[in-house]
Amino acid sequence: MFAMRFDGKENKHNNVIQIDAENTKEKRKAYNKACYERRKEKNKMRRIANGEGNSQNATFLSNVPTVNRNLVDITNASPTCVMDFGQKKLIYNRNPYQRQTEPTITKPGIQSQPDVILPPRDELITQISTSIDPQGCIHGNVTPSVQNGSISDDPYSFVFAGIRKKHRVVKFNDICRYCGAKRLQFESAGFCCMSGKTKLADSSIPDELHNLFTSETKLGKLFRKNIRAYNTNYSFASMGVEVDESMANMTSGVYTFCVNGGIYHRIDQLVPRKKDEPKFLQLYFYDVEAEMSNRLEWKNLAKPIVEILTRVLATNPYVAIFRSLADLGPLDNYRVTLNASVELDQRVYNRPTTSEVAGIWIEGNDNITAYKRSIIVYGRSDKPKTIQSYWGCYDPLCYPLFFPNGEPGWHSNILRQGVSFNEMVNDDQIFDEDLEETDIRTGRKTVTMREYYCYKLQIRSNLNVIMLGGRLLQQFVVDIYIKIETSRLEFCRKNQSTIRAELYQGVVDCVNAGEVQASMIGQRVVLPASFIGGPRDMRRRFLDAMALVQDGGKPDIFLTITCNPNWPEIQNELLHFQTAQDRPDLVARVFRAKLHDLKEQLLKRHVLGVVSAYVYVIEFQKRGLPHAHFLLIMKPEWKLTNTDHYDKYVCAEIPNPTKYPILHDLVKSHMIHGPCGTLNKKCSCMQGDPPTCRFRYPRQFNEATTQGKDTYPVYRRRDNGIAVNKQGIMMDNRWVVPYNPKLLMMFNCHLNVEVCSSITSVKYIFKYIYKGHDKQVIHIDPDAQPVVINEIKRFQDARYVSAPEAVWRIFSFSLNQIHPNVITLQLHLPNQQLVRFTDDDAMKSVVEREKDKRSMLTAFFKMNKDNVNAREYLYKDFPKHFTWNKESRLWNPRKVSRAVGRLVSANPAEGERYYLRVLLCHVRGPTCFEDLYTVNNVRHPTFRKAALERGLIETDDSLSQCLVEASLFQFPNALRRLFATILVFCDPGDVRKIWNSHYNSLSEDYSRQYDNVNRVQNMVLTDISVFLQSMGNKLDNFDLPTVNTDLNFQSGVFREVQEECSIIVEDDHLRAKEFLNPEQKYAYDEIMRHVCTDCTGVFFIDGPGGTGKTYLYKALLANIRKLGHIALATASSGVAANNMPGGRTAHSRFKLPLTPDNNSFCRIQKQSGTAQLLRLAKIIIWDEASMAKRQVVEAFDRTMQDITGVALLLVER
C-alpha cells in the first residue's frame, strides 16, 4: 500500500473562479452550478480515497501550492484539478474558466492530517496506449516502471506540477531623474549617480571614430576585432600585465580578458633605446608618413583604419604636444612634463587644452613653473616612469580610443554635485573605497574612484563610446577595478604605520614601564578581514556559515545558478553587432537582478519550502560568466528527510517532449552534462590518469531515488527511452544534471539543485563555496632575519580578475550574503581585550577611556548586572536576544530580525583562555570575571579549577565537546593536530573512548579517498604520531591502536612513504618495456641493472621532443614499483610532472629553496617523512633537470648528503 498525507491550510485564492457573466442573476446561477460541481467532484474523490471507487484510471498529480512540503496524490481526477480533502481546497480545470490564480499559503507549514491509504502504485498506472513520438525523442527499451503504462501517465509527474509557461523576466523599468541612466529591476535609486551627488559632463567623439565603433562595414568589423591592438598602437604608455593568453587570443569561442596580479602602465624615454624600434609615445615624433609606416609594422593593422585614427587623434592635446617635438631636432636634452591631474570641473567641462596637459623645456631651464603633480619624461632615462592609478592622466594616456579628446579620468578632487569648486581641498591621500557609506554620512565632498567609474558605465540615451569597446571594454573595466582594488590595498598598507592593535593589558604594562608614545607599542596589522574577498574575510565567512549549522542544523539544499548570456534581458540591450561578451556590464547587472529574483522565489514565495537560514557566494568562471552557490537550511518542519521529499523537488530525468515541450528544450540546453568520457576525452571535466569525469558522468540508471551514504542522493534515472541529441550524440537520463523543474522554467539557465541533507561532512560543502582565490607559495627562511609576510602582495599575486567580476565589483554588488546575521563574540582573559589607538594618543588616556575598555564580553557582564532577564542566557546565545552597538559598545535588547552568535574558538593548549570558554558555554548570568572564578561561594585561583569544581572537566566530556565543535569548523588534518594536543596537554582519562567517539571525524578525509579500513586507520595514527613527535611525545604512551606495519608498506610510519607505495601500477606501463626502441632499451637495461644490483649512478637522458623520453620513464617507474621498490618521479614543471604516474614537481618533492644561493639547502628535516622517502628510494627521476638553476641542483646535492650520510657529490654517486 502507498500512504500519503494531504496538508495545507484553506486559502481563498485556491478557489478563485473566473466567471464571465453579464448580470447578477447569471452570475449567481453560474456560481451555484460551480458549487454543485465542486461538491460532486469532492464526494467522488473521497469515495476513491476510501477505496470505494474504481482506481484503474487514477493518475498521480502534485499539489499546486509552491510552499506545501508534502506530496499530494489525486486519483481519477482531471489532470488540471487539485484537491485537498482535509482543507476543502479545490483548483478547477483551466479550460472552462479562462483565468486562474495560483494559490499561496499564508502560514506555510506541515499540518497534522490523517494518512490516506491508497491502492498499490502499480494498480494506479493505466494500461499503456501505443502512440507515436512526434519529436523522435523516445526510443529503445523503456524502464520497467513505465513499460506497462503510458509515459504521459508517469507516476512521478508530480515534480512537474505548477510549472509556469513563461520564463520570469527582469526589466529596465526606471530612468534616473538625476542622470538619465536606465535602472534595472532590484537596483537602488542611488546605484548610478548616488541620487544626483555624482555629475559628470558628457563626452563626445568624432564622427569618423564613431563610424568605426558602430558600422557594419568590413573596416568597422576589422577595427572592433582588433581594437585592443589599435588602442595599444596609439597609446602613450606601455601596459605591464599577466594575461591568460589562452582566452585572450582565442580564434574561436568566447573571448575573455582575464588578468593575474596587477596592471602597470609606464611611459618610456623620448628617444628609442638602442636597437629598439620606436613605440608608444615615440611614434608621434615623426611626420605623418613616417608615423604611418612605423605603425603599420604591427601585425593585424589595416592601413585605412590607421589613417582614420591618425587623422581623428590629431586634435588630442597629448598628440599635439608630442608631435610638436618633431620640429625640435634631437630630443636628448629635452624633457616633457605631463600634468598628472588635469583638475577641470568635470561636472560641466572635460576637454583640456594643450597647455593644461603638458609643457616642454630644455634641460637646465628650470624657470618654468611645474604642475602640482607631474610625470617628467626625459630624452633619455634609466627606466620608464609609472603612471599612478590615482592620476587624472591615467585614462587618456592609456586609452586614447575611449578618450580621443584627452579628457581626464578620475582623480581625488572631483567634486560632488552642489559643492563649490572653491571648496575643493587638494587631497593626495589614498582612500579606502569600502568606507564610502561612512563618507556619505560624514559629508564627503568628492567623488570616489568607484562612484566615478560606476557613473561612466551606465546605460543612457546619449552615446557612450566606452560601451561600444567590445574587447577593449573588457580590458578597460579590469584595469579600472584593479585601480580601485590597488587603492584599497594601498590604504591598508599606508595605515599600518599609524593604526595599531594591542592587548589592553599590554598597554597598561607599557604605561607602568614609562612608555607614553603609542608609536612605540603594538603589532602591525596586515590585510584585515574587513577587506572583502581577502583570505581572512573568506575564513571568517566560512566560520559564520558553520555557526548557522550549529544553530539550524545541516543544510538541506545546495543550489547553483549560472548566468545565461542568451537571456532576452541581455540580448535585447545589445546592438546589432554585439554579443554578450562585449558587454560585461550588462551581464553583471542582469545576473544580479536574476539573483535577487531567485532569492525572492526561494525566501518569499517558498518555491522549495520555508527557509530558516541561507548563505550564498558569487563566483566567476575563468571564462568570465558569474554563478552563485546557495546553501539553504530549511525550517524543522520543512526538512528534506526521505526520498519522497527528494522526488518532490529534484528531478534528474529528461521531461516528456510531448507533455512538457518547453521544459524538455530547457533541460536539453542547460542541464545535460558533457558529452565526456569515451565520447569526448578532451572535455574540461576529464581529469586524472586515466582521465575520468570528475563529476562522475554518465551516472547509472536507477529505478527509484535512494538515500546516499554520506553523499548526495542517488536520484531516479529510469531507462525510459527518452534522449536528446547533443553534438550528434544521443544522451539519455544518465547525463542529466539534477534540477528543479519550476526554477528551471522560471530562470531559463543552468540551475543545479541538489539535496545535501544526507551529507555528514557538511563543512566540505561550505569549504567549496568559500574557497576564495588560489593560494601562492610563501617562502620563510628559518635562518634569515625575521620578516613580515606581505599578505597584501600575496593576495594580489594569487587571484585572477575577469571583466564581469571587475564590473560586479565596480558596481559594488554583494559577493556573498548570510542570513541570519552571525555575530562573532570576543573571548579574552581579564584586561586582555583588544584596544585601538593612534600614534599621537597618550597611553594614560587610552587606559582611562571607559568606552575603549569595554568589549563584547565585559558588556555582557554589564548587561547581566543591569538586566535581570538577561541572566537566563548563555554568552553564545546572547545575540539572539540582544544587539551589539559598535558605537557605544553596549548590548541592547533585540526588537527585530534574527542573529546567531559565534564564540571564537580556543585550543586546550591555550590554558586559561580555553577554560574561560568552557565556563562561558555553561554558566548563565555572570556579572564579572569573579563570578566565573567563584563556585559555591568559593573563589578559585584559575578558570581551570573553577571548571573542575563545576564538574565541567571532571570527566572527558569537555574535551569531547571541544572535538565535536572543532569537527564542525576544522578539517581532519587540523582535528588530528588538536587530538594530539589534547593527548599531550589535557591529560584525558579515557583516551580510547575519545578515539572511538571521534574516529569518523578524524578519518573522514582518508575515508573519502580509500576503501581499506585498516589503511585509513593506519594513516590517521601515522599523522597523530607525527604531531606527537613534534610535541616531544610518542604514540606508544597512549591507549591507542598500534600502527599496522603489515600493509605492504616499507615502514608504515610516514605518510609520504605510504602515499608513494600506494601508487597503482598500470598494466600498459608494465608492458611498455616490450616496445622500446634500441636506444630506449639500452638505457632501460643499464638503469635496471644498477637498481637490481644496488649500484649507485647518475644518468642523463637526452633527446629532442617526441623521441620517447617520458615513455621510457613510465616503463622504468612501473617495473621498479612492481618489484616493491620506491621510485620517485619529479620534473621541473607541473606539466611534465603530470605526464608521469605519481609525478610531483621538484620544488614540491624536494622542498627546493625559492631563492637559492651557493650555500642553500632544501627545506627537509632529517627526521621527516620526506627524508625517509628519499632514503628508501631506489631511483629518482628528475625530468627537465637542465631547466633548474645550478644553485638548486647543488642545494639538492647537499641535502642528499646530509640525510643519507653519504659524503659523495651527486656526480660521484
pLDDT in tens, 631-642: 999 999 999 888
Query: In one letter, which amino acid is 400?
Result: P
Cβ atoms of 846 and 837 closer than 8 Å: yes
> Using CB atoms within 10 A of its CB, is residue 107 exposed (0-12), middle (13-18) or buried (19+)?
exposed
| 3 state DSSP class of 904 | coil
So what's the pLDDT on residue 125? Answer: 30
**Poorest-confidence range of 111-115, 574-578, 926-930, 1133-1137?**
111-115
Query: In one letter, which amino acid is 695?
Result: F
> Using CB atoms within 10 A of its CB, is residue 1112 exposed (0-12), middle (13-18) or buried (19+)?
buried
So what's the pLDDT on residue 509? Answer: 41
Domain residue limits, the chain = 1-124, 207-493, 545-769, 1060-1204
Query: In one letter, which amino acid is 644?
Result: D
The winner for highest mean pLDDT among 37-51, 373-387, 752-766 is 752-766
Whether residue 967 has pLDDT greater than 70: yes
197 vs 450: CA distance, rounded Å: 13
Q: How many Cα neighbours within 13 Å face the side chain of 938?
A: 12
At 139, the pLDDT band (50, 70, 90 cuts) reads very low
Q: Which of 468, 414, 436, 392 has the alpha carbon at shortest distance from 190?
A: 436
CA angle (323, 238, 276) in 5-degree steps: 75
At 44, the pLDDT band (50, 70, 90 cuts) reads low
511 vs 518: CA distance, rounded Å: 10
Q: Which of 453, 434, 526, 546 has the alpha carbon at shortest distance from 815?
A: 434
At 593, the pLDDT band (50, 70, 90 cuts) reads very high
So what's the pLDDT on residue 986? Answer: 79
So what's the pLDDT on residue 249? Answer: 57
1177: CB partners within 8 A, 6+ apart:
1126, 1127, 1128
Whether residue 367 has pLDDT greater than 90: no
914 vs 932: CA distance, rounded Å: 13
Sheet holding 334-339, edge to edge: 358-362, 334-339, 374-378
So what's the pLDDT on residue 1127? Answer: 92
The winner for highest mean pLDDT among 153-167, 321-335, 477-491, 839-853 is 477-491
> Using CB atoms within 10 A of its CB, is residue 124 exposed (0-12), middle (13-18) or buried (19+)?
buried
pLDDT in tens, 978-994: 999 888 877 786 788 88
612 vs 585: CA distance, rounded Å: 33
So what's the pLDDT on residue 60? Answer: 35
Please compute the mean of the pLDDT values over residues 353-375 and round it to a whole number.
Answer: 52
358 vs 342: CA distance, rounded Å: 10
Please compute the mean of the pLDDT values over residues 305-316 and round it to a whole number.
Answer: 89
Query: In one letter, which amino acid is 15?
Result: N
Distance of alpha carbon 149 from the chain centroid: 46
911 vs 894: CA distance, rounded Å: 34
At 551, the pLDDT band (50, 70, 90 cuts) reads confident
SS (H, E, C) 183-231: EECCCCCCCCCCCCCCCCCCCCCCHHHHHHHHCCCHHHHHHHHCHHHHH
486: CB partners within 8 A, 6+ apart:
262, 389, 796
So what's the pLDDT on residue 334? Answer: 63
Q: Which residue has the cell 500519503?
A: 4
Whether residue 968 has pLDDT greater than 70: yes
User: Of residues 286 and 979, which shows the higher confidence score?
Assistant: 979
1178 vs 1170: CA distance, rounded Å: 14
> Using CB atoms within 10 A of its CB, is residue 458 exposed (0-12), middle (13-18) or buried (19+)?
buried
pLDDT in tens, 804-829: 889 999 999 998 899 999 998 888 88
1181 vs 1146: CA distance, rounded Å: 10
Helices 991-1009, 972-985: crossing angle, 10 deg rounding: 160
For residue 651 the three cell numbers come to 528531478
So what's the pLDDT on residue 134? Answer: 37
Please compute the mean of the pLDDT values over residues 651-680 and round it to a whole number.
Answer: 92
The winner for highest mean pLDDT among 354-363, 506-515, 573-582, 1140-1149 is 573-582
In 366-488 the beta strands, taken as DSSP E runs, fall at 374-378, 385-386
**Poorest-confidence range of 99-103, 121-125, 804-808?**
121-125
Cβ atoms of 741 and 655 closer than 8 Å: yes
SS (H, E, C) 801-850: EEHHHHHHHHCCCCCEEEECEEEEECCCCCCCCEEEECCCCEHHHHHHCH
CATH entry 3.40.50.300 includes domain 1060-1204: yes
Computed over its alpha carbons, how large is the radius of gyration of the chain?
Answer: 36
CA 1127 → CA 475, 1052, 1176, distances in Å? 47, 17, 9
Helices (H) and strands (E) in the chain, counts: 41, 33
38 vs 52: CA distance, rounded Å: 19
Whether residue 1052 has pLDDT greater than 70: no
Positive or negative, the Cα torsion across 1200, 1206, 1212, 1213? Answer: negative
698 vs 731: CA distance, rounded Å: 9
Q: Which of 943, 925, 937 has the alpha carbon at shortest distance from 875?
A: 925
pLDDT in tens, 443-473: 678 899 999 999 999 999 888 899 999 989 9
Whether residue 26 has pLDDT greater than 70: no
pLDDT in tens, 1000-1020: 899 988 887 777 888 888 889
Judge if the upstream peptide bond of residue 352 is cis by omega within 30 degrees of 0. no
So what's the pLDDT on residue 287? Answer: 62
548 vs 817: CA distance, rounded Å: 13
For residue 1024 the three cell numbers come to 597523530
So what's the pLDDT on residue 270? Answer: 66
Whether residue 647 has pLDDT greater than 70: yes
So what's the pLDDT on residue 724? Answer: 94
Please compute the mean of the pLDDT values over residues 100-104 and round it to a whole number.
Answer: 37
Cα dihedral 793/795/799/801 (nearest 10) = -80
What proportion of the chain, given as a percentage, has pLDDT over 90?
25
Q: Tell me which H or E stretch contains 628.
A: strand 626-634
At 357, the pLDDT band (50, 70, 90 cuts) reads low
pLDDT in tens, 198-221: 988 888 888 999 999 999 899 999
Q: How do 1126-1131 and 1177-1183 pair as beta strands? A: parallel
Whether residue 1203 has pLDDT greater than 50: yes
| 3 state DSSP class of 290 | helix
5 vs 1044: CA distance, rounded Å: 53
CA 485 → CA 237, 438, 471, 478, 810, distances in Å? 21, 18, 21, 10, 10
So what's the pLDDT on residue 130? Answer: 31
Please compute the mean of the pLDDT values over residues 1190-1211 and round it to a whole number.
Answer: 79
Please compute the mean of the pLDDT values over residues 298-303 and round it to a whole number.
Answer: 84
Q: Which of 958, 968, 860 has the alpha carbon at shortest distance from 915?
A: 958
For residue 562 the three cell numbers come to 549560472
Q: Tell me which H or E stretch contains 935.
A: strand 934-935
So what's the pLDDT on residue 348? Answer: 57
Strand partners, 675: none
pLDDT in tens, 1018-1050: 889 888 887 887 777 788 778 888 877 544 343
User: Of residues 118 and 689, which shows the higher confidence score?
Assistant: 689
Please compute the mean of the pLDDT values over residues 1186-1200 and round it to a whole number.
Answer: 86
User: Of residues 254 and 867, which shows the higher confidence score?
Assistant: 867
Residues counted in the chain: 1213
Average pLDDT over the chain reads: 75
Cα dihedral 1049/1052/1056/1057 (nearest 10) = -30
538 vs 547: CA distance, rounded Å: 14
For residue 769 the three cell numbers come to 563555496
Whether residue 1106 has pLDDT greater than 90: no
